[in-house]
Structures are given as C-alpha cells and as structure tokens.
Structure 1
Amino acid sequence: MDDIETPAMQNIRRWLKGEIVNRTTGIRMLGGPRHGRFKIVELGADGQPPPGLRTGAFNGDTWSVYILSATGGEGAEHPWTYRFAGTEPRLRDTSRTGGDCLGSDPVMPFRSNQP
C-alpha cells in the first residue's frame, strides 16, 4: 500500500514542501517540544497563516506557544516558520463535563493580548 499515491497524499507531500494548495500549507515548527515538525494550516483571506499557535499534550497543564516568523520571503521553499516563544498555563475547562478536565482540543489558535 505504500506505493499508492492518492490525491490526498500528493497534497500532503506538497504542503510539507511549503507549497500552498487550496489556501493550505505546511509550516515548520522550530524550538520547543515540537521542533522539526510541521503544522498544516489554512491561510486567511489575506494569504497569511495564523500569527501563532498553542500546542500541548491532551492531559498536560501547559501550552507551548509558537509565534509566526517570516523566513525566506516570496518564492522561498518555506516562506514561514513557527518559532517557540515559551509556555503558558492551560486553564481547566469544567463546562463540558461538569468535572475537572482539560479541554479536548490539543491545538488551537494563539490569541495575542497585544492590540
């Protein structure tokens, strides 16, 4: 089965090369616990990826924060990277189950406190 090249696998390979396919691309994460991995993101209406990400293990107590960094510019193989910016505490979500549990979404958009 490894030799079957489906359209979905073709898109994934293109995203990991940094190509934009259907307003989606892969962005390399540098530093922190996700160093060297790629995050597949959808570009906004302005053609830019989200300005940051928070990632973490499902049962962890902290988020790893990654900030978007432009690296290569127009025509570069990977025009963007996410650079590790530190950690922040994860708030416990008790609204879903009525108990003390962590939110189930391991990756969510980063919300900056800056205007």
Structure 2
Amino acid sequence: MSLNCNHTKLQLQDAIGRCMYQIFTATSTSLELIQYGEEVLDWYENPLVTNDSDSISQLDTEAMRTIGDLRTRIFTAAAAIQHDDERSRHGNDYASGRPKEHHMLLDPDLH
C-alpha cells in the first residue's frame, strides 16, 4: 500500500497491522517478505505516519511484539534442539527412549 494524503489514520493503522501479520504469521515467499519489510521501512520514513503519534505508536508496538514473539519461538526451538542433542549424546534412541546398544542387540542388521 503506497501512502498518500488521501489515507485516513485508521487506514494507515489497518495497513500496518496487515503488513506485520503477513510478515510474522502468514506463509509468505521470500520475495513477499522482502516487499512487506520494505513497506514497513517506508512507513517509518513517511511523514503521514511519523507525524501521527497513534500510527507510529502502533507501528512500534507491533514491531516490538512480533520481535518478542520471534525471540520466544527461537528460544523454544533452540531448547528443543539442545534437548534432542543431549538425548543423543547420552545414547538414547529418540523414538523408544532405550539405549542404542539395546537396540543394536535386537537388530542383527545393525552389526
């Protein structure tokens, strides 16, 4: 959405919300994500947004909230990877929870 003087405050805020939603929750191609990101940067440079405290507040709030959500997702994924890594280092089979050596004794093809 290109911004011009004909857009109301509510239209600007709706556009900001839709764009942030597309970036952080919808399935988008890399090209679409780049386009949405460029729109966000354009909003920060547009006087229609920056001169309106409600719009800039929403833009900042949405950006911080979604960055916080991404940090949480990254932390959760990293913890899961670390947990899986620790299980594999201790010799447990992920699917059964039994030691790998026990599995190897039962399956002659693994020798």
* Smaller-chain TM-score bracket: under 0.3
More strand by share: 1
Larger radius of gyration: 2
TM-score by length of structure 1 reads 0.20
- Higher helix fraction: Structure 1 or Structure 2? 2
After TM superposition, the score normalised by the length of structure 2 is 0.20
